[in-house]
């Protein structure tokens, strides 16, 4: 763990998780740059936050956004517009940001969702949100950058005494209901920001839920207690192999090919 302050870009900063990420990062002594589409909403984040306007669906608008940052936290979501929104925002936003980075080396914390490997559920069949979030995870793994991928359970369904953090792997909870696990928005933000300065959180993917009990003040035992992803592999270490790369759309395979040399060359 390092206490060195970072300059963190928060993607999705005005959202329900992003606002907590901004607050947590500032509380830990980091400086924050918030990517927004609307400067008016961005001002609500406070005077200490650098506001920069960009569009996740347009790579060219992101070049200035990623300039001189040490880390990026992705908490964005399409929130509608069906399959097109899932591809353009959930996936395309990650792709465009990574490509805009060029050869810059930054730390990544990506938030997706518990159940992201469930391809047959009605939610994914209707929106393809899981598939596109999972493809975004694959881009991050292919990038060669240091990363942590967090798949939170249902937001703020906690009981008052339910704050003990639990990291899971394998994405086996797939009922599509809060029975899969619950977690507070505030704690999601804490884990995302803490991962950026943790050596033991590097190259790890996990589901994040809370059990009954008090929250932990030291997250290092949780980070160190889970397995790392297989370097060079597309998926998390214990994920079900139900999305073969050979069956992926050509544009997705092309994006993976574009990300690898763009971000691993010296």
Per the CB < 8 A criterion, the answer to whether 57 and 89 are in contact is yes
Mean pLDDT of 215-238: 97
Mean pLDDT of 143-156: 97
Mean pLDDT of 149-163: 97
Residue 263 has pLDDT above 70, yes or no: no
**pLDDT at site 81:** 80
Domains and their CATH numbers in the chain: 7-264 (3.40.50.720)
Mean pLDDT of 171-188: 97
Residue 39 has pLDDT above 90, yes or no: no
Per the CB < 8 A criterion, the answer to whether 199 and 224 are in contact is no
Give the range among 78-87, 91-100, 152-161, 182-191 with minimum mean pLDDT.
78-87
Confidence band of 194 (pLDDT split at 50, 70, 90): very high
pLDDT in tens, 46-61: 999 999 999 999 999 9
Mean pLDDT of 62-70: 96
**pLDDT at site 43:** 87
**pLDDT at site 29:** 97
Give the range among 92-96, 208-212, 257-261 with minimum mean pLDDT.
257-261
**pLDDT at site 106:** 98
Residue 92 has pLDDT above 90, yes or no: yes
What's the whole-model pTM score? Answer: 0.96
Confidence band of 266 (pLDDT split at 50, 70, 90): very low
**pLDDT at site 2:** 58
DSSP readout, the chain? ------EEEEETTTSTTHHHHHHHHHHTT-EEEEEES-HHHHHTT-TTSEEEE--TT-GGGGTTTTTT-SEEEE-----SSHHHHIIIIIIHHHHHHHHHHTT---EEEEE--TTTT--SSHHHHHH-HHHHHHHHHHHHHHT-SEEEEEEE-EET---TTB-EEEEE-S----SSSGGG-EE-HHHHHHHHHHHTT-GGGTTEEEEEEEESBPPPS--HHHHHTSPPPPTT-SS-TT----S-GGGS-HHHHHHHHHHHHHHH--
Mean pLDDT of 238-245: 97
Q: Between residues 40 and 264, which one has the greater pLDDT?
A: 40
Residue 37 has pLDDT above 90, yes or no: no
**pLDDT at site 264:** 47
pLDDT, mean over the chain: 95
Residue 12 has pLDDT above 80, yes or no: yes
Residue 1 has pLDDT above 80, yes or no: no
């Amino acid at each position: 763990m390092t206490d060195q302050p970072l300059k963190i870009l928060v993607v999705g900063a005005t959202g329900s998780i992003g606002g907590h990420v901004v607050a947590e990062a500032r509380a830990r002594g980091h400086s924050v740059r918030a990517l927004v589409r609307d400067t008016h909403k961005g001002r609500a984040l406070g005077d200490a936050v650098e506001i920069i306007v960009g569009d996740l669906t347009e790579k060219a608008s992101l070049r200035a956004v990623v300039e001189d940052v040490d880390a990026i936290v992705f908490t964005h979501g399409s929130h509608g517009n069906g399959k097109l929104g899932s591809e353009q925002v959930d996936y395309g936003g990650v792709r465009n940001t990574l490509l805009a980075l060029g050869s810059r080396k930054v730390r990544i914390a990506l938030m997706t969702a518990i159940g992201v490997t469930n391809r047959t559920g009605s939610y994914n069949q209707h929106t393809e949100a899981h598939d596109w979030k999972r493809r975004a995870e694959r881009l991050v793994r292919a990038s060669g950058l240091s990363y942590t991928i967090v798949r939170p359970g249902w937001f703020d369904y906690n009981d008052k005494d339910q704050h003990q953090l639990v990291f899971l792997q394998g994405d086996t909870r797939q009922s599509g209901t809060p029975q899969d696990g619950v977690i507070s928005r505030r704690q999601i933000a804490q884990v995302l920001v803490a991962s950026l300065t943790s050596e033991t959180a590097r190259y790890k993917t996990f589901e994040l839920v809370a059990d009954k009990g008090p929250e932990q003040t030291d997250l290092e035992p949780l980070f160190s207690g889970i397995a790392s992803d297989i370097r060079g592999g597309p998926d998390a270490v214990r994920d079900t192999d139900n999305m073969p790369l050979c069956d992926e759309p050509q544009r997705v395979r092309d994006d993976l090919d574009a990300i690898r040399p763009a971000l691993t060359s010296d």
